[in-house]
A and B are shown apart, each in its own frame.
Chain A
Amino acid sequence: MRITNRSTSGNIIVICAVVGFIVLIIGLWVLDIFWLHLLSGKEMSAAEKVAMAAAVALNKDDNIGQMNYVLAHSRELLYCSRYDEATASETHKSQLLLAQDLAARAKQVVTILEKERSTLQNTRMKESIEAAKNAIASAGSPGSATMAGISTTGVSLDLSQCSFGCLSKDGAGPNGEVIPSNIEPSSFSKLGDAGKDLEEYDKEFVDKQAKLYKGNTVLGMNPPGGGDDTELTIKLSSLPPCINNYISPPHLIQASIFNKMSPFEENALCTYIPTAVQIVLKLDVKETQSGKSSSLMAPGIAVTGGASPSPAKP
């Protein structure tokens, strides 16, 4: 009886040891899960911060809004100059030489500005990528660490899933119509009868609801007097406009309204200056026992700050 009792007592010790071990394993597993959950939250928060940093860099000092303004109004300058040239040719021959020279200069200005737009685009895309890389360290993103059953490497950008883009209109979907530019259409009717024709022609470039030029659009040229300016390109970017002096701040957006334009790479081919970014951070996780590895992905999508009031607001 005593022996039996001793035997039973021994079993309890073994059972306790086994149960204790199982509890420990489960505890460590729960701890790992909890730790991974914590890391995932930190990574998500870091991705949002990185996306915001990259988006802010895109429209630093509202350079995109300013470029949109001078581009659209260089077109108005060219139209006015062509109109003056046509008038001088018909009725004021003595002013024709000056009118022709000013029209030629206005055309040259449009060409110069397109080159500047391209420079600004490349500069801002490069700065946005740098801002994203710099932000990873300062955004409190999880570094490399080892726990009981898993180890992680530091967070990095998953470039294959990052991209430049812009904002789609609400409900338009990721590939739908983008939000307009920050530029009010020119009032060509103030030029006279020829201006009325131009204003009619301009309607196809105007967002009827917002009464602004459409975003990510090439403004067509239809100069008065039939001058050959059709080869010129004036590319306006989509950008949250300034409404009643309210400047839209940079903010996070849903994936459903992010309109992808190009990969997140320097000198990536992009027709217009992008105004939003999608960032995906990657955290590699390795199971110590099995050697299996996987990645924790965290996306962050942000749109840049909107346009400031136009310098020529009457």
Chain B
Amino acid sequence: MSIQNGCKEVSMSSKIARTILLTAVSAICAWASSSSMQPANAEIKYEKLVEINAEEMKGYLNYPNSGLSDFFHIVVKTGEAETGKAETPYEDLVACKVKSTGKAEIIACRRLAAFDFNDKQVKVKVKLSSQAQNDAQVRALAAAIPHLVLELFLKDNFVGGVYVPTGAYESFKSALATQGFTTSMKGSYSPRTSVTPLVLQSEPAARFDSLSYQPSLKK
């Protein structure tokens, strides 16, 4: 019994150590970004791929005096980074614009499977549909990213980067700022003030920004 408890304590301490390490890495990334340095994760070899894309739901919940608009069905799939294919459904989300706040929100989630991996280097790839209205689509996808990144971190994965199409890079950066992910650094980092790191990269590679979750700086 005491051995089991000891094991649990060791496991807990290693998780805390890992959390502190992740926090420190994110702080360094953010600092590096603000100093125009190459990101610390430039050489990451990804093991897992998480792909998200959005389909416009035309006419969805479109009734007089509706407080919701711009509905998107967001599909999240996972796969091996090596093959570059994500074919295992993970969850389906519904995102829309809440007219009273003017912001995109995830309003529904349907979990189709559990993440079947832990302790992996994960690449998050965002795909844009050419059919849908671009700005609304970007806002919907950006609203899904915090949920996804959080779930990956809670499974002890390391999210090396969120890759977005180069043409929509600035739109994504701006949309993520409304979700609380900004490059600005205020205050000191500690597990209490909580920093969830996120490296936004364009694909093909040209630009990157190290962002962190700072809700007080939400636009």
Contact = CB atoms under 8 A, between A and B. Distances in A.
B63 A63 contact: yes
A225 B12 CA distance: 19
A195 B62 CA distance: 33
A218 interface: no
Nearest to B106: A77
Nearest to B89: A314
Nearest to A110: B107
B19 A73 contact: no
Given A70-B107, A73-B94, A95-B150, A116 B66 contact: yes
A244 interface: no
B109 A76 contact: yes
A186 B91 CA distance: 12
B114 interface: yes
Interface of B is mostly: mixed
Contacts of A28: none
Contacts of B196: 94-95, 97-98
Contacts of A69: 94, 108
B117 interface: no
A63 B63 CA distance: 8
Contacts of A105: 105
A97 B193 contact: yes
Interface in A185-229: 186-187, 190-192
A67 B110 CA distance: 15
A203 to B, nearest CB: 18
B150 A99 contact: yes
Q: How large is the interface on A (under 10, 10 to 19, 20 to 34, 35 or more residues)?
A: 35 or more
Contacts of B110: 73, 76, 186, 312
B65 to A, nearest CB: 5
Main SS of chain A's interface residues?
helix
Contacts of A116: 61, 66-68
Interface string A124-143: 10000000000000000000
Interface string B77-99: 00000000000010011100010
Contact of B194 (A70, A94, A112, A314): A94
A94 B22 contact: yes
Nearest to A188: B111
A102 to B, nearest CB: 6
18 contacts: A66-B61, A69-B108, A73-B108, A77-B107, A77-B108, A88-B154, A91-B19, A92-B15, A94-B191, A94-B194, A95-B153, A96-B194, A98-B213, A109-B106, A112-B67, A112-B107, A119-B66, A123-B65
Interface of A: 60-61, 63, 66-67, 69-70, 72-74, 76-77, 80-81, 84, 87-88, 91-99, 101-102, 105-106, 109, 112-113, 115-116, 119-120, 123-124, 186-187, 190-192, 311-312, 314
Closest CB pairs A-B (n = 6): A97-B194, A312-B92, A73-B108, A77-B109, A93-B191, A98-B196
